[in-house]
Structure 1
Amino acid sequence: MKLSPPLRSPASRSSISSVNSQNSTASSSVVYELAKGWKECRDDVTGDSYYYSDKGEVSWERPVGVSPVKGGGGEKNAKKGKCTINRKSNAAKVRSPSPQLSSGDEEDDLREGIVEGVVSPGRVGGVVGELLTTPVGNGKVRRPLTPLTQDTVGSRDSMAPPPPPRTPLQEERLRRGRENRAEDGRGRGTEEEEEEEEEEEEDVPLAYIQAKLGELEKHWMTVKTISRKRQEAQMEMKKIAALEEKEKRQREAAASAAKRQKEEEEAKKAKRAAQLATQKRLKEKKVREVEEAKEREAKKKREEDRKKVEREREEKEKTRKKEERLRRENVKREKEREASEIEEKERAEREEMEKKKKKEAEERLIGAPVKTKPKLKPKLKPNTAKQTSETKASSNVEGRKNVKDDAKEHISNPFAHLF
């Protein structure tokens, strides 16, 4: 006898009727959207739907949101897993099955402006082999979407995480499915054969069902106990981690406060040091400016004294040169005067001598004796008035004295050069 699948446990039933469990006041015909951040996927082995969130959480139970699906069905439609895909937002919504899709001829039953396709395996919000309805909006029937072949079915979406651990019911169902296929000696049957198997599996003894339910309840209680203890241990670990984190934050806050206080003190010290350095620099600058002013004044005074001494020296030099020039002019005039006097005397002497010679000649002509003296070569003295520039330049006080003595001698004895 074939074993029929056991009844669903409360945990498995909650994955189907999660809408009613989430909102007990709502009607059983109300179907809610998936909760925000959750997506639906199919287990490749069992074919059951499981859900995963953006945070990496996985669950067999269907998380629902707060917005009901317009025109949504009740638990019956949720069991079938019918859904449509919003191609703009890629959000899955449970919908009621279209009455036009119930017959075998798809083209005759499709409404005008609706096309039909197949959802890829593991696609968000989709089921393998499920029909999609997309309104065209222009009243024309477009080319249907290409359905998937059997060799492409069974691959899970690469972005979806692996399904959570299977429940005992799923494991039992898989085992029984394998046994049934082994007994029949064939693989998966057609839809009609599966429906016949479901009808045959309904004749399961009540004692078997109750025994299985007892085992499942016992196992479920054990799982719940383990889960509760695990949750308690996790809560304890979380408390310890929170305390450690709190102590760590307190230590970090104390260290940060100490560091901030130290930095403030260092900043104050640096500011004070900068102020002292600025004051010292200003003081040094002021002293340097005073010293530079004094140095400029002293330099200016030295320059004025130097110019004054230079002017005095130039005045003295001019006076000396003027006196020297006057002295040379006086000496020159004196020498010229003396030379002119000597020349006058010599001229007078020559005239006198000529007169004497003339007189002697006249007496000789007469015959009178004439007393003559032997002629002496006159001593010629150089003309002092015709001295060269070198002699003038080399003359000194002694030379000038000798010249004056010679002039006096000539004046006192103008005929000394004749003897």
Structure 2
Amino acid sequence: MPDEKGYFGEYGGQVIPPDLVAIMNDINRAYQEISKTPSFKDELNDLYTHYVGRPSPIFYAKRLTEKLGGAKIFLKREDLNHTGAHKINHCLGEALLARHMGKTKVIAETGAGQHGVALATACALVGIDCEIHMGEVDIEKERPNVTKMKILGCTLVPVSRGTRTLKDAVDSAFEEYLKDPVNFIYAIGSVVGPHPFPMMVRDFQSIIGKEARAQFLEEQGRLPDVITACVGGGSNAIGLFTAFLDDELVDIVGVEPAGRGLETGEHAATMSKGVKGALHGFECYNLQDQSGEPLPVYSIASGLDYPGVGPQHCLLKDLGRAKYVAIDDEECIDAFMTLSRVEGIIPALESAHAVAYAMKIAKKMSSNETILVNLSGRGDKDAYFIADKLGL
């Protein structure tokens, strides 16, 4: 848990004006009170089971393992959740919390559109207005998710400023939220932002790791040797990692986007190339220029092109409990196509980064060792983009 000021070590906190601190503290108090009530827990767990389809299974990628040689590769199938990704886990929690708090509108940003679709879905379910801010570049790239959000009834706000991607969508959504923070709630899409959001989103996503650890023990009679997940803001990864933090023999690896190459500057490899500083109301490793302003970032995966990372990830890096590596666009596309054609599973481009890392290290490991990949989302949203890119 973070400390009372929301810090994981020296990361996190509330780097925001005093009047916003009071509002964030109100959200924290409401979360601490409401989330512990039997009615909230029962409703959320019922929705996880009968609406989302949890628990998501663990799948042994036998043909991929045989193709590569070496370690056995397993996939935690978050792509099978309703709405197609892990995002629904915290979106349901945030929408229910908003309803219990009497909020009139939920506001959020989205990159790849998975958070936007999941939140629009959750808001439709609980009966509360939803407004999603999305960069114009991502709107063009992720057309299937844009269409879904509109069908689900949310208000979609195109963002034309800056790089017209995720960071700018965050800025735009937060500005809208500040117009009426009493009646609106900003449902942050990852384990980032001011306290209590990194903690709150982590708590909702921790169901991934709790399930995975129990499933792996039951099915394999042991824990995996390596667990891995893609990291942008880091919600799917921290959701998997949390349950394994005390298992010292399990290696924990976060995979971030090297984009067109770390040496090109066209990447979003925060842990590999970032420095400590403040971004969007919290302290973290981030990519910034000499004046402390966020740098433009890039990834083929829209959900990973964010210049910061969750504060708990930063602490895990400093402690050496988790390591963070970078996978470039070419490796990501290769993993995307390989998993599709060898196992019949089309992964999200975000998730394909973690698959690519597993493919890279499996060959160097023994056949007695195991790798568990959090397959955080499915690739329906990316299929046309990749088909056009590869001329399929």
- Report the TM-score range of the alignment, normalised by the length of the smaller protein: under 0.3
User: Comparing both chains, which one has the higher relative contact order based on Cα–Cα distances under 8 Å and sequence gaps of 6 or more?
Assistant: 2
TM-score w.r.t. the length of structure 1 is 0.18
The alignment's TM-score, normalised by the length of structure 2, stands at 0.19
Larger radius of gyration: 1
